[in-house]
A and B are shown apart, each in its own frame.
Chain A
């Protein structure tokens, strides 16, 4: 009995074009779109080498300390800050600036390096900060030499930016905005499991489909029918989620961290939640199937919007301003569960999320089974 209902539900779900489009093809297409749109974001946020000009006039040639420092920060390598363009005079610097080849140039005025630019921006601020820092250090050195020449040997270390602290990452993996979009996308796919749950319960309601009437008339208890049906839906939907996660990880190269087993557990919890949610929408709303589908889509999109599918960071804003809404939003819990796996090396928050998802699924399934039990209709 179980196998007959369960297996046929899997077969019919796998052969349904709507199901293939919305739970397989659409998310894969969207994830590919995200990949091409978002993967440059992280690279663009990295500091780029700043093109800067230097007027190599007599004043510059006299300041050997400045020459040494600017040559050091312009040496090719990981720490390269400037791409140095040497010019003979200010006119050549202005020309490069006009052509957009440099963000500004440095020229000595009264034995002091001065920065000339035409625009404001991050690069200009960095060059200006570099010069201010140099001038401040130089001034300190000169003062020290005047007041305490015996400490001259210590001045060399003043230009060394030795770090006395060690930089460690608070998170297991480096922070990135990109993965959040993929988490929200997976949350959406989990919620799309609702289509399967909704369809399945519609096919158990005599007032919604002839199939529902025929199945209602069978001697199988409604609880058993709905359980077998929803388990079939969850199996298909879970498999679909695994395919999408595999595509994102192995084809698009987006990392979900190293805890693969728990990623799979999150997919399973998300699938349970999505299917149960659709089942509850189907049983509780006294509407036609098309109207119920609309309710499901709107609810899913609102949940996904609030979990950061369209705007990164909105989930954090909701968590701060309306924490209850965040905790009750299943899509936000799924996103947070993936987030915990990627960033944290502890599991408390992760398992709290999974617990909430499982509890929500259980409540929704129980309500569905309760409403469906011995249901008779005013009209068919």
Chain B
């Protein structure tokens, strides 16, 4: 559905996109994950032909994307990072306006608008002006304006920024439902949990470059880091920490705030070994649990920095 080859975009000396390659299949929820400034929004704006780019090819629905490719534009829905609605029009009028740009016939449009209002949970707010809506409701209106015409391809650029957890869950569930109804989704976020929950395939970006692409399982299997062991301890002498560090398969350790954290190699079974060692040294411990590696671990291992930085 979307093919991007060797996309290069520069802002002066800054390389915003560095030979980016992308291939998104029909029916996917494709996530672009990366810290702020990694090039996610720039990539989307180039794909939508809003931004000029220096080099590369972008194909949507099998045709080169350009500002005058109205045939492709008809099949696209856009939910931008910043809320893009008319402040002087009500919720219903806004959705009707944007849907009307794709569906001129008012009789065909009316049920679509109603469906979008219901889908985004705005039924009680249809006569409200945007300024009367909370941040979460405003985001939902932003989404409703982008999806009311039932597009085949939807670009969602950080749609959950500054949204309360309840609205966020509602938005994420809505996106899954859109995908179930047949839309292909391109989703950008710097919230790794969201991307991990939602996306069928993920590209991790940093400094305009592709770091890694794959399903979340594929991404996690690319790194040495396996489970992360956390044990609550009242005290841990330094020699013992060194001893834990020397256990085979323990990659590195940390003890702070009465909490021991040990990053273990993937496929290892170090939990028993570490707990045995603590017992042998008469160290009393509280909770102990294992966590599978996250996308942040993937990002950390590949780039040497936290995704949240």
From 328 to 380 in chain A, residues with beta carbon under 8 angstroms from any chain B beta carbon are: 374-380
Taking the complex as formed, is B49 at the interface, i.e. its CB lies under 8 A from any CB of chain A? yes
Assess whether B84 is in contact with A209, with CB atoms less than 8 Å apart: yes
| B51 with A214: CB separation less than 8 A | no
Residue B100 interfacial (CB < 8 Å): yes
Enumerate chain A residues within 8 angstroms of B76, measured Cβ to Cβ. Answer: 217
In the complex, A376 Cα to B100 Cα: how many Å? Answer: 23
Please tell me if the beta carbons of B49 and A376 are within 8 angstroms of each other in the complex. Answer: yes
Q: Is A251 on the interface with B (CB-CB < 8 A)? A: no
**Which of A8, A214, A374, A375 contacts B93 (CB under 8 A)?**
A8
Min Cβ gap A89→B in Å is: 79
Interface flags, B56-85, vs A, CB<8A=1, else 0: 000000000011101101101010111111
A374→B68 contact, CB < 8 A: yes
The reply to whether the CB of A282 lies closer than 8 angstroms to some CB of chain B is no
A214 near B88: Cβ-Cβ < 8 Å: no
Contact of B45 among A211, A219, A380 (CB under 8 A): A380
Q: Which applies to chain A's interface (DSSP): helix, strand, loop or mixed? A: loop
The one of B71, B96, B101, B106 that contacts A218, using a Cβ cutoff of 8 Å: B101
Distance between A189 CB and nearest chain B CB, rounded to angstroms: 21
Inter-chain contact A379/B80, CB cutoff 8 Å: no
Docked Cα-Cα span, A211 to B97, in Å, equals 12
**Interchain CB contact (< 8 A) of A219 among B73, B93, B145, B146:** B73
Q: A215 within 8 Å of B by Cβ?
A: yes
Is A206 interfacial (CB 8 A cutoff)? yes
Closest A-chain residue to B76, C-beta based?
A217
**Contact check: which of A5, A15, A219 meets B102 at CB < 8 Å?**
A219
CB-based contact A12/B89 at 8 Å: yes
Task: Count chain A CB atoms within 10 A of each CB in B80, B87, B145 and give the residue with the most.
Answer: B80
Chain B residues lying within 8 Å of A379, measured Cβ to Cβ, are 11, 51
Q: Is the interface of B mostly helix, strand, loop or mixed?
A: loop
In the bound complex, how far is the Cα of B96 from the Cα of A206, in angstroms? Answer: 21
B89 and A214 within 8 A (CB): no
Pick the residue among B49, B81, B97 that contacts A4 (CB under 8 A).
Answer: B97
Q: Which residues of chain B come closer than 8 Å to A5, judged between CB atoms?
A: 97, 100-101
Q: Which of B11, B71, B84, B85 is the one whose CB lies under 8 Å from A213? A: B84
A-facing mask of B21-44, CB < 8 A → 1, else 0? 000000000000000000000000
The CA-CA distance from A11 to B87 in the complex, in Å, is: 11
Contact B85 A219 (CB under 8 A): no
Most chain B CB inside 10 Å of its own CB: which residue of A4, A217, A379: A217
Complex Cα–Cα for A286 and B242 (A): 62
Structural contact, B73 and A1, CB atoms closer than 8 A: no
Check A220/B45 contact, CB under 8 A, given A209-B84, A211-B85: no
Contact A214 B78 (CB under 8 A): yes
Q: Is A175 part of the contact surface with B, judged by Cβ < 8 Å?
A: no
A380 touches B86 (CB 8 A): no
Chain B: minimal CB distance from A12 (Å)? 4
Closest Cβ neighbor of A14 among chain B residues: B88
* Structural contact, A218 and B102, CB atoms closer than 8 A: yes
Question: Is A210's CB within 8 Å of the partner chain B?
Answer: yes
Tell yes or no: B98 within 8 A of A by CB: yes
In the complex, the answer to whether A211 meets B88 with C-beta atoms within 8 Å is no
Closest Cβ neighbor of B89 among chain A residues: A12
| Residue A221, interface by CB 8 Å | yes
**A4 to B110, alpha carbons, bound, how many Å?**
12
Q: List the A side residues contacting B106 at CB < 8 Å.
A: 4
Q: Is B222 an interface residue (CB 8 A)?
A: no
Q: Does A16 contact B (CB under 8 A)?
A: yes
Report yes or no: A206 in contact with B74, Cβ–Cβ below 8 A: no
Residues of B within 8 A of A (CB): 11, 45, 48-52, 66-68, 70-71, 73-74, 76, 78, 80-89, 93, 96-98, 100-102, 104, 106, 145-146
11 A-B contacts (beta carbon < 8 Å): A1-B104, A4-B106, A8-B89, A11-B88, A12-B86, A15-B88, A206-B45, A211-B84, A213-B80, A215-B101, A380-B51
The 9 A-B pairs at the shortest CB distance, nearest first, are namely: A210-B84, A4-B100, A15-B88, A218-B101, A12-B88, A210-B82, A1-B104, A214-B84, A219-B73
